[in-house]
Amino acid sequence: MTAQTILLVEDDPSLRTLTVRLLQENGFLVRSATSAPEMWAALEAGPPDLIVLDVMLPGTNGIDLCRQIRRDSDVPIIFISARGSEEDRVLGLELGADDYLAKPFSRRELVARIRAVLRRGPMADANEKRRHEVEFDGWHVSFTRRELRSPSGAIVDLTGAEFDLLGTFVAQPQRVIGRERLIELSRTRLSDSSDRSIDVLVSRLRRKLSAAGGKPPIVTVRGVGYMFSAAVSRG
Amino acid sequence: MRARSLGILTRILLILVAIMATEFVANTLVFNRANRFALHEDDAHRMAEHLVVARRLLDRTRPAERPTVASELSTDRFTFRWSRSGDVMPASLSLNNMRSQILEEEPALLAAKLRLHLLPLPKGGDVAGSMELSDGTLLFFRTYQAKGLWTLTFGRILSLIAPTLVLVFIGIFMVRATLRPLNVLMRATRQVGTGDPQPVPEAGPTEVRHLIHAFNEMQLRIHRLVSSRTQALAAVGHDLRTPLARLQLRLDGARLDPETQRLMDQDIHEMTELLRSLQIYLSGEGETVPAERVDLAVMASTLIDAACDMGKDAHYVGPDHLEVEVRPVALRRALSNLIDNALHYGGNVRLTLREKEDGILVIVDDDGPGIAEEKLPEVLQPFVRLDHARSRNTRGMGLGLPIVKDAVQAEKGSFSIANRPEGGLRATIRLPKATG
């Protein structure tokens, strides 16, 4: 596997140096830019596999920058922000950032996020990546916002693990998914590594999907695993 | 425009002059009315007739019999008394009208030198008078119309009071109009610091205009001061994150012994949390995020589930689903703060969600030591920390509960905390029904 290129856009010199070193140590090829013009120049020179973008750059707003990049490129973007509020995160993700990291972050965290985004990035199935919204039984799942809405339009909170589980289910509707497979999938997730058994996660998800007395669409297949019974339509 | 900027003194003087002038005019009118002390037409007619008949009759009677005849002519309401001579009362000017009315009816009485005068009130306040017979002797008469005259005096009192009453009302109206800009100013004073500055329109007397002008300037100064402090704090929260990020990365790279590494990680984490709560608290002010439909029951139970997963003693009591219209991020943070507080200070948490007639109730209980009664109001104030003997027992910047308070207020709800009688602390969020 050839080394992947990361473009780091960060205006603070020391932080830039530290991050560049960190990424190089982890086997990435790193190019860095201190401002928006430099970033555009670097993009001209050759498309990176991923951009790590500080939201607060002098003179420009990272959010506008992200919007501009997205106009003609699908390159994965990870936001680095000094604000770290939930609203910022949602806004960043909506604008097409693939992930959002608040300062300060640990080395492990940054590398893990980059790896995760790269994994589901261009390497992943193109259909998978475009699958931003799906619907079933009137329920609405937005993968960009990582949000589930009930048939009446209400936001239904899910933990990270629950959302990933739901994502797995809606990706393979009407198919029995073995417990072992689900456990494996939930283990590969980086954050939210709760030790809860998959059965607890499923029962919680079921309870949340049981609004208005309707039957939850997750069926237990005795001895094998679970099946998502509802028809899923891509939005 | 010049007239509008008169001083308060000038205005009050003007008001007084206006009152005096009006009263003068009104009184003059009232006295003129009294001058026109008149009889109804038929009364005048009857009186004239009475007088003419009595005069003719007594003229023809021999003087010796005149007293008897005079008393025979008298009735309950009109008495006559004959006298050879006597003091004639000067005619009352106020009865001129009545006299001319009578003379108009019976011009013959002109020759009789008819005089009318009002008896003083102690004597009944009636009309009395005299006329001469043809031989020069005098015939005195007197009416008894106490009742009629009484209504007349009552009417007079009323007519004297009425303008004064009107004047009082006009006076109240004028003074109130003068003071209205002051009232506006007073209301605005109570609002200072609660939001964007609202300039008070400069109106009213000069002094009040100056006052309002000064107030508006002060309001702007306070606002600038508050917002520059807020910006400074926000900048601190923001700018410290970059050096903190450098520190974190350097620490990760330094080959320290694991224990030191862990403790320093903890320090950085604590600093990050402080900055985060500061940023949240500051961004909460003037936030205009729209409300969204949210399943509050799922929100609460998800937070409780997460606490359980961390091995905490956390319970959720309430329905599986309850949809409301709120600002989800802020409310989730509020619930999360309350759960964290309960777990940190009380060691456990029990969240109860209840839908009631008049709204939605979220109760967060713990079985901890609670808060000293006199400290309760303090903890909702920002940057207040209840430092016990061990000063580091408390964490954060004392923004947890103020953030909850702001979030609940944004939903037009109410937030309170109290010690439970059975021990422990109870935080109660009441959301209005409109959000349901």
pLDDT for the residue B150: 46
Locate the chain B residue with the closest alpha carbon to A14: B246
The two three-digit tokens of residue B233, written as one number:
């704090």
- Spell out a b/e string for A146-159, using b for 16 or more CB atoms within 10 Å of the CB, else e: bbbbbeeebbbbbb
Q: Report whether B336 contacts B403 (CB < 8 A).
A: no
Confidence category of residue A3, pLDDT binned at 50, 70, 90: confident
3-class DSSP state of B7:
coil
pLDDT(B181) > 50: yes
The rounded radius of gyration (Å) of the Cα atoms in chain A is 20
- Spell out a b/e string for A65-103, using b for 16 or more CB atoms within 10 Å of the CB, else e: bbeebeeeeebbbbbbbbbbbeebbbbbbebbbbbbbbb
- Whether residues B279 and A18 touch (CB distance < 8 A) is answered with no
Identify which of B245, B253, B320 has the shortest CB distance to residue A15: B245
Could you tell me whether strands B78-83 and A225-228 are parallel, antiparallel, or unpaired per DSSP bridges?
unpaired
CA angle A182, A187, A188 (to 5 degrees): 105
DSSP string for residues in A77-99: EEEEES---HHHHHHHHHTT-SE
d(CA A100, CA B21): 80
Share of chain B above pLDDT 70, in %: 82
Could you tell me whether strands A147-149 and A155-156 are parallel, antiparallel, or unpaired per DSSP bridges?
antiparallel
Q: Could you tell me if A85 lies within 8 Å of chain B, comparing CB atoms? A: yes
Task: Give the list of residues 6+ apart from residue B41 with CB closer than 8 angstroms, or none.
Answer: B101
pLDDT(A127) > 50: no
pLDDT for the residue A193: 46
Phi then psi dihedrals of residue B10, to 5 deg: -55, -45
d(CA A16, CA A31): 10
pLDDT(A6) > 90: yes
pLDDT(B171) > 70: yes
- Whether residues A211 and B321 touch (CB distance < 8 A) is answered with yes
Mean pLDDT of B342-365: 92
Identify which of B265, B289, B293 has the shortest CB distance to residue A155: B293
Mean pLDDT of B216-231: 88
Locate the chain B residue with the closest alpha carbon to A90: B329
Interface probe, candidates A19, A34, A103, chain B, greatest B C-beta count within 10 A: A103
Pick the more confident residue, A18 or B101.
Answer: A18
Lowest-confidence pick of A16-20, A231-235, B222-226, B413-417: A231-235
pTM higher than the cut 0.90 = no
Nearest CA of chain A to the CA of B398: how many Å? 18
pLDDT(A203) > 50: yes
Nearest CA of chain A to the CA of B246: how many Å? 5
In one-letter notation, the amino acid at residue B117 is: H
The two three-digit tokens of residue A152, written as one number:
């009446």
pLDDT for the residue A129: 44
Identify which of A56, A83, A106 has the shortest CB distance to residue B252: A106
pLDDT for the residue B29: 67
Pick the more confident residue, A84 or B295.
Answer: B295
- Whether residues B333 and A86 touch (CB distance < 8 A) is answered with yes
Q: Report whether A170 contacts A233 (CB < 8 A).
A: no
The two three-digit tokens of residue B229, written as one number:
């402090």
Q: Kindly report the number of other CB atoms within 10 A of residue A188's CB atom.
A: 10
pLDDT(A212) > 70: no
pLDDT for the residue A125: 42
Mean pLDDT of A137-150: 87
Cβ burial, residue B322 (10 Å; 0-12/13-18/19+): buried
pLDDT for the residue B338: 93
**Which residues in chain B are contacts of A204 at CB distance < 8 A?**
305
**Which residues in chain A are contacts of B289 at CB distance < 8 A?**
87
Q: Report whether B139 contacts B73 (CB < 8 A).
A: no
Lowest-confidence pick of A162-171, B86-95, B241-250: B86-95
Q: Could you tell me if A210 lies within 8 Å of chain B, comparing CB atoms? A: yes
Locate the chain A residue with the closest alpha carbon to B247: A104
pLDDT(B228) > 50: yes
Identify which of A14, A157, A211 has the shortest CB distance to residue B299: A157
pLDDT for the residue A126: 42
Confidence category of residue B185, pLDDT binned at 50, 70, 90: confident
Residue A233, beta-bridge partner list: A135
Mean pLDDT of B35-61: 74
- Whether residues A106 and B248 touch (CB distance < 8 A) is answered with yes
Mean pLDDT of B210-232: 88
pLDDT for the residue B318: 92
Mean pLDDT of B30-56: 68
Mean pLDDT of B151-180: 73
Q: Kindly report the number of other CB atoms within 10 A of residue A225's CB atom.
A: 19
pLDDT for the residue A15: 92
pLDDT for the residue A116: 86
Identify which of B244, B280, B305 has the shortest CB distance to residue A103: B244
Phi then psi dihedrals of residue B390, to 5 deg: -85, 110
Phi then psi dihedrals of residue B158, to 5 deg: -60, -45
Average pLDDT over all residues of chain B:
80
**Which residues in chain A are contacts of B250 at CB distance < 8 A?**
18
d(CA B114, CA B106): 11
Confidence category of residue B38, pLDDT binned at 50, 70, 90: low
Q: Report whether B304 contacts B351 (CB < 8 A).
A: yes
Cα of first residue to Cα of last residue in chain A, in angstroms, is: 34
Q: Report whether A233 contacts A136 (CB < 8 A).
A: yes
The two three-digit tokens of residue A205, written as one number:
């998800």
Dmax over Cα atoms in chain B, in whole Å? 152
pLDDT for the residue A25: 92
Nearest CA of chain B to the CA of A56: how many Å? 10
pLDDT for the residue A26: 92
Mean pLDDT of A178-203: 70
Task: Give the list of residues 6+ apart from residue B158 with CB closer than 8 angstroms, or none.
Answer: none
Q: Could you tell me if A58 lies within 8 Å of chain B, comparing CB atoms? A: no
Per-residue pLDDT tens digits for B247-260: 999 998 888 888 88
Cβ burial, residue B361 (10 Å; 0-12/13-18/19+): middle
Interface probe, candidates B239, B304, B305, B351, chain A, greatest A C-beta count within 10 A: B305
**Which residues in chain A are contacts of B276 at CB distance < 8 A?**
84, 102
d(CA B280, CA B399): 9
pLDDT for the residue A188: 61
Q: Report whether B424 contacts B413 (CB < 8 A).
A: no
d(CA A59, CA A40): 14
pLDDT for the residue B391: 42
- Whether residues B328 and A155 touch (CB distance < 8 A) is answered with yes
Pick the more confident residue, B146 or A33.
Answer: A33
Average pLDDT over all residues of chain A:
82
Helix (H) or strand (E) holding B143: strand B138-143
d(CA A93, CA B392): 37
Interface probe, candidates B303, B321, B335, chain A, greatest A C-beta count within 10 A: B321
Cα of first residue to Cα of last residue in chain B, in angstroms, is: 53
Per-residue pLDDT tens digits for B72-116: 888 877 888 888 777 766 666 667 777 777 788 788 777 778 887
d(CA B234, CA B280): 10
The two three-digit tokens of residue B266, written as one number:
């903890």
3-class DSSP state of A167:
helix
Per-residue pLDDT tens digits for B122-145: 666 677 888 888 888 888 888 776
**Which residues in chain B are contacts of A154 at CB distance < 8 A?**
292-295, 323
In one-letter notation, the amino acid at residue B312 is: K
pLDDT(B19) > 60: yes
Nearest CA of chain B to the CA of A102: how many Å? 9
- Whether residues B253 and A107 touch (CB distance < 8 A) is answered with yes
d(CA A5, CA A119): 14
Mean pLDDT of A164-181: 86
pLDDT for the residue A190: 42
Share of chain B above pLDDT 90, in %: 16
- Whether residues A155 and B292 touch (CB distance < 8 A) is answered with yes
Locate the chain A residue with the closest alpha carbon to B321: A211
The rounded radius of gyration (Å) of the Cα atoms in chain B is 46
Mean pLDDT of A19-45: 91
Task: Indicate whether this complex's ipTM tops 0.95.
Answer: no
Share of chain A above pLDDT 90, in %: 18
Confidence category of residue A179, pLDDT binned at 50, 70, 90: confident
Lowest-confidence pick of B63-67, B150-154, B430-434: B150-154
pLDDT(A108) > 70: yes
The two three-digit tokens of residue B106, written as one number:
């019976």
Task: Give the list of residues 6+ apart from residue B424 with CB closer than 8 angstroms, or none.
Answer: B346, B365, B366, B367, B368, B369, B370
pLDDT(B392) > 60: no
